[in-house]
């Protein structure tokens, strides 16, 4: 079945440093979504990428979808303590309904002030 791998599993950064998490799928995706889960909270939708090579920005967050639509990345510039949490990617395979949505295991971002 479809697998979505995320690396790294954990990332410790100093406040103000940049952070990047990578998502790789074993199959071509129709789109990819990113979610953030704060400690003790539930996942919250951040963005969806659909087009090959697409780049979207939300303030300090930059999301990219690979040309082959099998990988994606989330980059945070100048991290702040409010960025703490787990970032999940979720890939939709072609023709899949809800069962075509596969979440990665997430990257836990830990920020040291």
Partner 1 sequence: GAGVSQSPSNKVTEKGKDVELRCDPISGHTALYWYRQRLGQGLEFLIYFQGNSAPDKSGLPSDRFSAERTGESVSTLTIQRTQQEDSAVYLCASSKRVGDNEQFFGPGTRLTVL
Residues that bind partner 1 (CB under 8 A): 6, 30-31, 33, 41-45, 48, 50, 88, 90, 92, 97-99, 101-106, 108
Give the burial class of 32: count Cβ atoms within 10 A of its Cβ; 0-12 exposed, 13-18 middle, 19 or more buried. Answer: buried
Residue 34 · residue 88 · CB < 8 Å: yes
Residue 111 corresponds to which tokens in the numbers above? 């920020």
Closer by beta carbon to partner 1, 77 or else 103: 103
Closer by beta carbon to partner 1, 5 or else 78: 5
Least spacing, CB of residue 68 vs partner 1, in Å:
18
């Amino acid at each position: 079945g479809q697998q979505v791998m995320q690396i790294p599993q954990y990332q410790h950064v100093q406040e103000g440093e940049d952070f990047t998490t990578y998502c790789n799928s074993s199959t071509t995706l129709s789109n990819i979504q990113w979610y953030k889960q704060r400690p003790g909270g539930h996942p919250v939708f951040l963005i969806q990428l659909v087009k090959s090579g697409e780049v979207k920005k939300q303030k300090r967050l930059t999301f990219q979808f690979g040309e082959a639509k099998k990988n994606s990345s989330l980059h945070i510039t100048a991290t702040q303590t409010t960025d703490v949490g787990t970032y999940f990617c979720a890939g939709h395979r072609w023709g899949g309904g809800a069962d075509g949505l596969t979440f990665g295991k997430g990257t836990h971002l830990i920020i040291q002030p």
